[in-house]
Structure 1
């Protein structure tokens, strides 16, 4: 588990972002060097839509992401050896599609995570999304409890292909999500595409034409295409989108291929869900063939 790739998105204020970056970027580079993870921030004046906070994206191997998360939170909790706020609030950004499994039937999963970590964990309402179909997971408690909660949450999301693939289309300062109702090739930043409006607000227009680029692991591209291209053609027929899979090139730093989906927002969302389901089915089938399962979870305190 510790050698698998994952990511975490953490909301921070402008002031906290400055503390994380440090003078001339010294602090953020030092945290990357110590943890081995990649750490990026959304630009100044470009908060996650629906909030006034910037996004810290931490990505890499699970163990490096946890190490980096600890370093980032220490920046928010401590000034040198002095405690700034013993019970500061940490907010994670999680794709809406992943939140159902994270909450569990009747809230069973989220309650068990809160009890195990001894932290408060709440998920924002399902009918209000932020950014690009995201929800907010708020964690309260002491630093150690919050780190344990982050560890447990990322563990739950580790096998969710919708979560792992979502990082492929995240980029700062800009991303591969483009929307131009008149067909213009306007490169719109993912976290600034609708600056003041949660995606599911009354102003959300599901008929706006757009393009979404997502990543699919190379080993599962065949499952998306299907025999003779039948699966991908069926997805296009049912949703009305156009799908292009970039050949011969991986997304930098990954073993994933770019899958470009074009159509109305509503159609793109439907096609993305169908592709994710195909990948999820293929993943489960491979695990059954291998007779494998995940390793045991280790507590955060063992992450050095």
Structure 2
């Protein structure tokens, strides 16, 4: 009787997002028909695609079973041409809102340990959020059966602990890493950080000296030898008072870091009486401003979602 209750309780619509490589159009069509789940694949010329599977939980489990067995079949086929003797496990990457990852990990890692032990699958929750999103990758690997059991347990956790607040979904980027030019330096975005890229910086500086360089979105060519940064502009943000601390950091360490990395000027207005928000003014080139905004958002996101973590 008990299992009937839990199955009935699980017959709700749930959406699970999964990261996949390559195109598997025909396979997906078959999976839709046989599992009864809605399966959508993100568009775009990205090496990664987001596969969204929506439906009653039993339809989701059927779809996952088909995906896991399909992956295993692909591994078996690729091994017939190789000399490897041990068969690698099937690996799937789920994309889960960071606000639910705390429940998935459990207090002191208790929940994730329980899932690993009861299913025999390896489960890893990424420490950092996926770029420009509030989602984290959860990597599951093991035999198809272990993966199916593992997905069932993850679904139960996700149903019991719905996401808190708004989720910014991860959208895979085209093959190249986004590059931001700020203060004559080139940065590539990796995870939540802008990493200075010396090779691209050299190219960027050469381009500035050699040719009339047109920054993205600008139509007027700059004169050779002049820094072709667009004129400075200003952008204003309002941040709730209770979150301003995570932007400023201890003795201003975080805000100084954001200023240095973005190359923008950032002014935080004093608190006005009766207002629950503070005004932030960012001044610089559009690239500086967008990088500063990105870094501020990354700080806010990790503050808001970090509360539910370990």
TM-score (normalised: structure 2): 0.51
Which residue of 194, 197, 204 corresponds with 1:202?
194
Change (3 A) 1:106 1:21: same
Determine helix, strand or coil for the equivalent of 1:43: coil
| CA distance in 2: counterparts of 1:96 and 1:78, whole angstroms | 32
Q: How does 1:23-62 map to 2 (within 5 A)?
A: 27-47=27-47, 53-62=48-57
1:87 aligns with 2:95: no
- 1:69 alignment counterpart: 64
Q: Give a deviation string over 1:16-58, Cα, whole Å, max 9, x none.
A: xx3x312xxxx322211211111111224225xxxxx322111
Aligned partners of 2:124 and 2:140 also within 8 Å: yes
Deviation at 1:117, TM superposition (A): 0.6
Determine helix, strand or coil for the equivalent of 1:202: strand
- 2:157 alignment counterpart: 156
Q: State the Cα RMSD in Å.
A: 4.2
Change (3 A) 1:122 1:60: same
Deviation at 1:112, TM superposition (A): 0.5
In structure 1, stretches of 5+ residues that fail to align are: 48-52, 171-188, 211-235, 241-263, 278-304
Determine helix, strand or coil for the equivalent of 1:10: strand
- 1:118 alignment counterpart: 120
More deviation, 3-12/154-163: 154-163
Determine helix, strand or coil for the equivalent of 1:158: helix
Q: How does 1:121-140 map to 2 (within 5 A)?
A: 121-126=123-128, 128-130=129-131, 132-140=133-141
Change (3 A) 1:267 1:201: closer
| CA distance in 1: counterparts of 2:298 and 2:77, whole angstroms | 49
| CA distance in 1: counterparts of 2:159 and 2:235, whole angstroms | 32
TM-score (normalised: structure 1): 0.51
| CA distance in 2: counterparts of 1:3 and 1:155, whole angstroms | 11
Determine helix, strand or coil for the equivalent of 1:161: coil
Aligned partners of 2:130 and 2:136 also within 8 Å: yes
Determine helix, strand or coil for the equivalent of 1:162: coil
| CA distance in 1: counterparts of 2:103 and 2:41, whole angstroms | 27
- 1:143 alignment counterpart: 144
Which residue of 11, 19, 42 corresponds with 2:19?
11
- 2:223 alignment counterpart: none
| CA distance in 1: counterparts of 2:46 and 2:152, whole angstroms | 28
Deviation at 1:192, TM superposition (A): 3.6
